[in-house]
Chain A
Amino acid sequence: MWDAVINGVSGLGAGFVHMHWSNPVMIVVGCFLLFLGIKKDVEPMLLVPIGFGAILVNIPIADLMGNDGFLRTIYDMGVSNELFPLLIFIGIGAMTDFGPLLENPKIFLLGAAGQCGIFLTIGLALFFGFPQLDAVAIGVIGACDGPTAIYVTSRYAPHLLGAVSVAAYSYMSLVPVIQPPIMRLLTTEKERNIDMNAVNKSYKPASKNARMAFPLVITIIGGMIAPQGLPLLATIMLGNLMRESGVVGRLTKASENEIANVVTLFLGISIGATMDGEKFLTGQTLMILAFGFIAICLDTVCGVLFAKLMNVMTGGKINPLIGAAGISAYPMAARVVQREGQRHNKQNFLLMHAVGANTGGQAGSVMAAAIMLSVLKGMGIIP
């Protein structure tokens, strides 16, 4: 009987006995993510479940990411088959108003320029010796778009999912810190003072029919151009069509609230579950975080420079600051532009233009990922 008691007692505290040095470090990292989410309000919807998932997966023996672990079940249910990011995209589409973009379609080009960081960072990651598909996953942090980054990474570089997702969401929330110095550095006082209020009057609003046709046309034409990315494009546009049609209010509400919330919880906790210390604590993770930062800086640089070019071509009608909003961090990037504009000219209201560029950035990030996947397919890199 004593043997049984001793064996029983040895089962208690087994987690401490089997702890790897990386586990407590990752538990601290998980707590730090929780701190950022709860105390600093940094993307709490994502960082709280990610942080908790990171803690759970680093408790030894429990093996929650093992074949029968509940985190593995959630992961297999929607991350490994890319379902969760797509469901979130329906919600994003349902929440996004493309009206300001439709009012001034030229601004769509800023949404394209804001994606240049993706491709430049791929080149940089390759230069530093990352394998090709890993470089693609790292570059996609520059989409500034969590679901897109998760979709691409879970499909082609699942071993990088934790690092890429944490980088994508952390930097997205740091946009108000990262962008303003770059915007000030690349623009002159005169350019920052360009008043776009007068330009507002020349824009014509889009009719309800045009708003409804927009998601349909983009899905069909975009899908034809880049079929590999059709799931991304189709889901965001389906959400938007439901919103604009106005006839499926319950579905629209469910997509932007209940479905998005439940999926965000599952997505967050399963991303956290990929942060097993033994695999996560490597020099590679630090490099991915650094490249993610560079990608978002490059997005901003390219966006602002392209807006400067548009300003020259339109005879001084475009305030180059709005180029910084051509990324997918919605509506944060637009707010940053508005704030920067008003720092220099209290009468300058750039918000609507920046929101247009920002929604262009949302569609642009999805389209950039779709094009990237189709180019990869065309080159025979992916099946």
Chain B
Amino acid sequence: MDNWTFGWTMIIVGMGGTMATLGFFAILMGVLKRIFPVKEEK
């Protein structure tokens, strides 16, 4: 694979993949907080 293709693939898929995955994690964390809410101490 030539450097041009390799570089652009890394930038697009790597950077895009990182943003998308961490965005998904952010949503997951929101879901986790809903599933396990803070219980008020009695």
Contacts and interface: CB of A to CB of B under 8 A. Distances in A.
B2 to A, nearest CB: 10
A213 B37 CA distance: 12
Given A118-B14, A206-B33, A221-B25, A113 B19 contact: yes
A105 to B, nearest CB: 4
Q: Please classify the interface of chain B as helix (H, G, I), strand (E, B), loop, or mixed, using the class held by over half of its residues.
A: helix
Contact of A368 (B18, B23, B24, B38): B18
A32 interface: no
Given A102-B33, A108-B29, A217-B32, A122 B22 contact: no
Interface stretch (A10-18, A75-83, A272-280, A371-379): A371-379
Interface in B24-42: 24-30, 32-33, 35-39
A184 to B, nearest CB: 25
A368 B14 CA distance: 7
B28 to A, nearest CB: 6
B26 A109 contact: yes
A105 B29 contact: yes
Given A225-B21, A226-B21, A360-B22, A210 B7 contact: no
Contacts of A118: 14
A218 B33 CA distance: 14
Q: Please classify the interface of chain A as helix (H, G, I), strand (E, B), loop, or mixed, using the class held by over half of its residues.
A: helix
A136 B14 CA distance: 11
Nearest to B5: A379
A207 B14 contact: no
Interface in A310-362: 360
B10 A115 contact: no
A209 interface: yes
B8 A207 contact: no
Interface in A223-249: 225-226
Contacts of B29: 101-102, 105, 108, 206, 210, 214
Interface of B: 1, 3, 6-11, 13-15, 17-19, 21-30, 32-33, 35-39
